[in-house]
C-alpha cells in the first residue's frame, strides 16, 4: 500500500468535511440534543431500564452512538458520489493508489468524522445527566468498530450509487431503520418476543448495546457476544468493499 498516497487522501477527506463543520459536525450535535430534550422530558419519569439509571442517562450513550454511525456512513457515501458527479474521481484513478489505500483513507476519515460528532454530542448532552464510565474500554472498542463498519457501508453505497437519490435511498431504507430499531431509545427486553428476536438479527443493536455497556456496566446481551457480531460484520463488509475497489466497480467505466 502506498502509505504516502493513503495519508494524502486521508488528509483530503478530513479537510473536506472539516471545511463545512457547521453542517457536518455542529448540525448532527444539535439534532441529538433535540432528541434528548424531547424524549428525555417526556419519558424521564416513566421509564427506567437499568436499576439506578435514569432514562436521560440511558438515552445519552444511544444518541452518541447513533450520531457516530450515521455520520461515519455519510462521510464516505457523500464523498464518493460527489466525486463521481463532479468528475474529479478521475484524478484518483490515475494516481498510484491501491484499493487498500483507498479503503484505509476513506474509512479512516469516516471514523474520524463519526468520533468527532460523537464527542461533540457527548460533550453537550452530558450536561443533562451525570456521566458514568463503568467499563470505558468497551466505549472505545465499539465506537471505533461501529464507525469503521458504517464508513465501509458508506463506501459500498458510494461505489454502487450513480446519483444522490440512490445514496439517500440506501440511507433511508437501510441505515436509518436499522439504527432506530437497534435500542437507541429503549431496551429490547421491553419488546414483545417476535420483535426481540428480530432485534437480535440487527448488527446495529450489538453496537449500541456494547457501547452502552461501557457506561453502565450493564447490557441486554454479553459484550463479548456483541464484539463477536460487530467484528464479524465489519470483516464481511470490509471484504466486500475491498473486492469492489479492486475490480473498479462503477468507477472505471
**Is the per-residue pLDDT at 48 higher than 80?**
no
> Using 50, 70 and 90 to split pLDDT, how confident is the model at 252?
confident
CA 217 – CA 133 distance, rounded (Å):
8
How many structural domains are present in the chain?
1
Answer yes or no: is 146 within a domain: yes
**Is the per-residue pLDDT at 45 higher than 70?**
no
189 is in which domain, residue-wise?
Answer: 3-247
Q: Which three cell numbers stand for residue 133?
A: 464510565
Average pLDDT over residues 129-152: 94
Specify the pLDDT at position 182. 87
Average pLDDT over residues 142-159: 96
> Using 50, 70 and 90 to split pLDDT, how confident is the model at 253?
low
Answer yes or no: is 125 within a domain: yes
Radius of gyration of the chain (CA): 18
> Using 50, 70 and 90 to split pLDDT, how confident is the model at 230?
very high
Answer yes or no: is 8 within a domain: yes
Specify the pLDDT at position 22. 93
- CA angle centred on 19, ends 161 and 162, rounded to 5°: 10
Helix ranges, 51-175 (H): 55-86, 89-93, 99-125, 136-160, 164-170
Specify the pLDDT at position 1. 59
**Most distant pair of Cα atoms in the chain: their distance:** 59
Answer yes or no: is 252 within a domain: no
Average pLDDT over residues 186-204: 83
Average pLDDT over residues 219-242: 95
Closest CA relative to residue 73, chosen from 39, 117, 34, 38:
117
Percent of the chain with pLDDT over 70: 96
Specify the pLDDT at position 93. 85
Which range, of 51-65, 71-85, 209-223, averages the lowest pLDDT?
Answer: 51-65
Answer yes or no: is 50 within a domain: yes
Answer yes or no: is 84 within a domain: yes
> Using 50, 70 and 90 to split pLDDT, how confident is the model at 47?
low
Which is higher by pLDDT, 140 or 190?
140
CA 26 – CA 213 distance, rounded (Å):
26
**Is the per-residue pLDDT at 53 higher than 90?**
no
Answer yes or no: is 15 within a domain: yes
Answer yes or no: is 253 within a domain: no
Which range, of 80-89, 102-111, 193-202, 243-252, averages the lowest pLDDT?
Answer: 193-202
Mean pLDDT (the chain, rounded): 89
Average pLDDT over residues 161-187: 86
CA distances to 73, 117, 180 from 174, rounded to whole Å, are 11, 21, 10
Amino acid at each position: 500500500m502506498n502509505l504516502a498516497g493513503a495519508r494524502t487522501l486521508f488528509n483530503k477527506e478530513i479537510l473536506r468535511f472539516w471545511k463545512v463543520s457547521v453542517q457536518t459536525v455542529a448540525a448532527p450535535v444539535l439534532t441529538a440534543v433535540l432528541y434528548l430534550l424531547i424524549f428525555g422530558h417526556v419519558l424521564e419519569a416513566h421509564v427506567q431500564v437499568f436499576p439506578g439509571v435514569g432514562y436521560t442517562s440511558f438515552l445519552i450513550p444511544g444518541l452518541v452512538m447513533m450520531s457516530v454511525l450515521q455520520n461515519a456512513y455519510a462521510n464516505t457515501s457523500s464523498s464518493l458520489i460527489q466525486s463521481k458527479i463532479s468528475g474529479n474521481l478521475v484524478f484518483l484513478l490515475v494516481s498510484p493508489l491501491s484499493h487498500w489505500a483507498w479503503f484505509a483513507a476513506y474509512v479512516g476519515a469516516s471514523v474520524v468524522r463519526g468520533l468527532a460528532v460523537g464527542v461533540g454530542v457527548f460533550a453537550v448532552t452530558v450536561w443533562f445527566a451525570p456521566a458514568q464510565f463503568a467499563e470505558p474500554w468497551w466505549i472505545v472498542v465499539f465506537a471505533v468498530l461501529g464507525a469503521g463498519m458504517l464508513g465501509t457501508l458508506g463506501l459500498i453505497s458510494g461505489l454502487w450509487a450513480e446519483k444522490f437519490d440512490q445514496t439517500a435511498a440506501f440511507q433511508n431504507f437501510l441505515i436509518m431503520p436499522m439504527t432506530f430499531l437497534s435500542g437507541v431509545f429503549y431496551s429490547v427486553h421491553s419488546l414483545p418476543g417476535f420483535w426481540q428476536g428480530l432485534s437480535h438479527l440487527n448488527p446495529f443493536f450489538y453496537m449500541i448495546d456494547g457501547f452502552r455497556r461501557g457506561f453502565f456496566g450493564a447490557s441486554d446481551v454479553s459484550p463479548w457476544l456483541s464484539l463477536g457480531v460487530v467484528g464479524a460484520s465489519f470483516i464481511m463488509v470490509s471484504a466486500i468493499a475491498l473486492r469492489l475497489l479492486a475490480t473498479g466497480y462503477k468507477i472505471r467505466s
